[in-house]
Amino acid sequence: MRRRRIYEGKAKVLFEGPQPGTLVQYFKDDATAFNNKKRGTITGKGVLNNRISEHLMLRLAEIGIPTHFVRRLNMREQLVREVEIIQIEVVIRNIAAGSIAKRLGLEEGIQLPRPIVEYYLKNDDLGDPMVTEEHITAFNWANTQDLDDMLQLALRINDFLLGLFLGVGLKLVDFKLEFGRLWEDDEMRIVLADEISPDTCRLWDVKTNERMDKDRFRQDLGGVEEAYQEVARRLGVLPENGLAEVTRPKLVQ
Ligand code: TMP
Ligand code: ASP
C-alpha cells in the first residue's frame, strides 16, 4: 500500500491516516542532536519509543489530559488525531541539567526551587531559540488562552509523570512537550501531541543517577540501546517477542 507522506521529521514520519482527521505516526531509529550536527542510529529506538509514548499518553488520558493518541497500530506505528502543531516546544525542568545548567551556571543535578517552564521556537534554521510569552503572543504563534492551556497541561503532566517515573526508579529531570490545535465542530481544543520518550525526556536512575535517555547518545556515553530498553522494561512495555523485530526494522515506502 502506498501512503501519502505528510511530513518527515528527524525521528518520525507522518503518513495520511485511514480516516479523515487521522495520521499514522511512524517511529524511526534515526537520532539527531545539537540541531542536526550529530546524526546516528539507535537500533530498536523506534519500536521502543512507540511503546513508551503509547503507554505514557494512555496513562495521561486516564487522568483527563487530552492527547492526539488513538491507538498503536504495529511495532513502529501509531494512529493519532491530525492536529495543527503549535510551533513552540514547551520544556519543563525539575532538576538542573543540559542547557539551563550551562546558561545559568547551575550545577547539574541540583533540584530546582520549583518546576520551571520554558518555551522554544520550533525553527531548525535558528537552532530552536528560547522565546518568552511576549514573543509568542506578539508574533501570534499562540494566543494567551493557548499559552495558559499549554502551561496548565504541562504542569499537570509534569506532576503525574514525576510520580509515574519515580515509581519505576527514575528521576524525571526535564522533558519537552508539543501541543496541537484540534478542531471539532468549530470548537478548538489544545491537545498533547508528538511523543514522550527517552528522546524527549531526561531520565536518571534514582540510585545511581545513571543517564537513561538520549544524553547517552548526545554525549557518547555508550549503552544507548540498553538504556532505552531498560526504560521500556521498567515501564512494563518491552515487546514480548523479545527484540527480534526491534533489530530488523521493516521497510516503509
Ligand atoms: P535542553 O537542556 O537541551 O534545553 O533540553 C531540555 C529537555 O528538552 C531535554 O529533556 C531534552 C528535550 N529536548 C528535546 O526533546 N528536543 C530538543 O530539540 C531539545 C533542545 C531538547
Ligand atoms: N536538538 C535536539 C536534541 O538534542 C535534536 C536536534 O536538534 O536534532 O535533542
Task: Indicate whether 102 and 198 sit together in one domain.
Answer: yes
Under a CB-based contact definition with an 8 Å cutoff, are residues 97 and 110 in contact?
Answer: no
Mean pLDDT of 205-211: 98
Residue 2's pLDDT is 75
Residue 249's pLDDT is 53
Euclidean distance between CA atoms 9 and 7, whole angstroms:
7
Minimal-distance CA residue to ligand 2 atom 9:
33
Using the mean position of ligand 2's atoms as its centre, give its distance from the Cα of residue 240 in Å. 30
Residues 6+ apart with CB under 8 A from 231: 48, 52, 170, 198, 203, 212, 213
The DSSP 8-state label assigned to residue 245 in this structure reads H
Task: Indicate whether 187 and 100 sit together in one domain.
Answer: yes
Total number of domains constituting the chain: 2
Give domain status of residue 128, yes or no. Answer: yes
Mean pLDDT of 201-208: 98
pLDDT category, 233, cuts 50, 70, 90?
A: very high
Give domain status of residue 214, yes or no. Answer: no
What CATH number is associated with residue 44? 3.30.200.20
Residue 244's pLDDT is 63
Euclidean distance between CA atoms 58 and 192, whole angstroms:
11
Minimal-distance CA residue to ligand 2 atom 3:
33
How deeply is 251 buried, as exposed, middle or buried, from its count of CB atoms within 10 A (0-12, 13-18, 19+)? exposed
DSSP SS3 for 16: strand
Residue 147's pLDDT is 98
Which protein residues touch ligand 1 with a CB less than 6 Å away?
Answer: 91, 98-100, 128, 174-176, 200-202
What residues make up the domain containing 238?
A: 5-82+224-246
Residue pLDDT, tens place only, 60-89: 999 999 999 999 999 999 999 999 999 999
Under a CB-based contact definition with an 8 Å cutoff, are residues 30 and 89 in contact?
Answer: no
Under a CB-based contact definition with an 8 Å cutoff, are residues 99 and 116 in contact?
Answer: no
Give the chain's mean pLDDT. 95
Which protein residues touch ligand 2 with a CB less than 6 Å away?
Answer: 10, 32-36, 214, 218
Give domain status of residue 211, yes or no. Answer: no
Task: Indicate whether 177 and 97 sit together in one domain.
Answer: yes
More confident residue, 253 or 213: 213
Task: Indicate whether 167 and 186 sit together in one domain.
Answer: yes
pLDDT category, 221, cuts 50, 70, 90?
A: very high
Under a CB-based contact definition with an 8 Å cutoff, are residues 97 and 163 in contact?
Answer: no
Using the mean position of ligand 2's atoms as its centre, give its distance from the Cα of residue 130 in Å. 14
Residue pLDDT, tens place only, 86-144: 999 999 999 999 999 999 999 999 999 999 999 999 999 999 999 999 999 999 999 99
Determine the atom of ligand 1 nearest the C-alpha atom of 35.
18
Using the mean position of ligand 2's atoms as its centre, give its distance from the Cα of residue 10 in Å. 9
